[in-house]
Structure 1
Amino acid sequence: MRIVPRLLPALFAAVLPFAAFAVGSDDTQPPAPTETTTKCDKGLIWDEKTKACVAPQESRLDDDTRFGAVRELAYAGRYDEAMTVLSAMTEGDSDRVLTYRGFILRKSGHVEDGIAAYEAALAKNPGNILTHSYYGQLLVEMNELDAARAHLAAIRNHGGTGTWAELALARAIDTGLTYTF
């Protein structure tokens, strides 16, 4: 197939956003449904090791497994269950936990509590670019675009240029559309 040179910019603009969001950490793509949301009863999550639905407090589970379930449940709009799983994580109030607590609170309508969680995460780790992105997206939803731009600048200042965190927030500022994962 031969691409006409004058069409390259259009092709590049159409493909680049999807390619950029497909690269990087597990936060770049919506979580794929697993047995946690397709098979397990409410309040249980899938344990790949035992091939069974278990309570999120199950001691054999690691926090990465729990965190994957948190993302999946939050993406499915099951915020109460996601918060329960998040509360079972053993790493305490790490910036990762606080960031996702803020996200869940924000998406479930508890905006002020979400802001407090984001600010606590940034107090622990001012360089957490994912926190800056989610917090900035909340500010976009609140039509606080200058404050959102400050978070975008913080992402860039902390080495996040070209990451999902930067691109998602820049897109939100430009379009008003935010992410649900």
Structure 2
Amino acid sequence: MFRKTTFFVLTAFMASIAGQSAMAVGDTSEPPRKTKTSTQCKNGKIWDTRKGQCVNAKKSGLSDDVLFEAARELAYAGQYDNAIKVLEVVSDQRSARVLNYLGYANRKAGRMELGMQYYKRALQADENYVLARSYLGQALVEQGRIDEAKVQLVEIRDRGGENTWAYRALLQSLGGIRHHY
């Protein structure tokens, strides 16, 4: 009985570690769910659950992780300039995740070249950040640069990201074409 229980606990622990390291590759999960940040807050404000209200991100004292997740939610909700305002408050402006979402928000707001610059900077910060590769590839598809987008798909696959949302999203942008790359 003890060995069986130990095996199950160890298996669950290993599964949780595997899940954490998969996320370390870079925000490869599905888009975030909407919260009060994206449904009620505007102008660089985010929802503070402790205070039960929208607060100015710059003055909030919230952690970088909370700020980042709020900015990510805002970006997916189409509030690109608001997402950028929140991202600018995150203390580590050179992190791949911040640079990537600055790229995403700028690209989606119609500032393609600026977005591309941020994606490249994100990949300079972490060449294994598969979500930045996916968004870069999607931007390349939007520009009609299909062969370059396929290179990013291969890079994601070769970096162990074939079973991620990042890979599937870029593959879908390419029309599901895998071929021999």
TM-score normalised per structure 1: 0.78
Match of 1:120 in 2: 121
Unpaired segments ≥5 residues, structure 1: 1-23, 177-181
Distance of 2:130 and 2:28 partners within structure 1 = 11
Structure 1 residue 167 corresponds to structure 2 residue 168: yes
- Report the counterpart of residue 100 of structure 1 in structure 2: 101
Counterpart check, 1:72 vs 2:81? no
SS at match of 2:128: coil
The CA deviation string for residues 138-172 of structure 1, in whole angstroms up to 9 with x for no partner, is: 11111111000000111111111211111111111
Code of the residue aligned with 1:123 in structure 2: it is Q
Q: Find the residue that maps to 1:28 and give its secondary structure.
A: coil
Separation of aligned partners in 1, 2:128 and 2:157? 10
> Structure 2 vs 1, CA of residues 41 and 95 (structure 1 numbering), >3 Å: closer, same or farther?
closer
Q: Distance in 2 between matches of 1:69 and 1:120?
A: 22
* Alpha-carbon separation, structure 2, partners of 1:105 and 1:71: 13
Q: Is the 8 A contact 2:137 2:149 kept in 1?
A: yes
Flag structure 2 segments of 5+ consecutive residues without an equivalent.
1-21
Which residue pairs with 1:55 in the alignment?
Answer: 56
Contact 2:37 2:46 (8 Å CA) reproduced = yes
Contact 2:93–2:99 under 8 Å retained in 1: no
Equivalent AA in structure 2 for residue 87 of structure 1: E
Q: Check whether the contact 2:37–2:45 (CA below 8 A) recurs between aligned residues.
A: yes
Pick which of 25-34 and 116-125 moved more.
Answer: 25-34
Deviation at 1:31, TM superposition (A): 2.3
Distance 1:108 1:41, change over 3 A: closer
Deviation at 1:124, TM superposition (A): 1.2
CA contact (8 A) 2:32 2:73 kept: yes
- In the alignment, what sits opposite 1:5? none
CA drift at 1:70 = 0.9
SS at match of 2:57: coil
* Alignment coverage as a number of residue pairs: 153
Identical-pair percentage: 42
Q: Quote the residue 1:82 is aligned against.
A: 83
* Cα separation, partners in 2 of 1:144 and 1:64, compared to 1, 3 Å: same
User: What residue is the counterpart of 1:10 in the other structure?
Assistant: none
How far is 1:52 from its partner? 2.2
**Deviation for aligned residue 1:72:** 1.8
C-alpha offsets along residues 3-46 of structure 1, whole Å, 9 cap, x if unaligned? xxxxxxxxxxxxxxxxxxxxx75653332221112233433110
Deviation, structure 1 residue 121: 0.9
The one-letter amino acid paired with 1:132 is: R
Q: Aligned partners of 2:61 and 2:110: how far apart in 1?
A: 33
Q: Deviations over 1:97-154 (max 9, x none)?
A: 1100110111011111111111111111111101000000111111111000000111
Structure 2 residue identity aligned to 1:128: Y
TM, length-normalised to structure 2 = 0.78
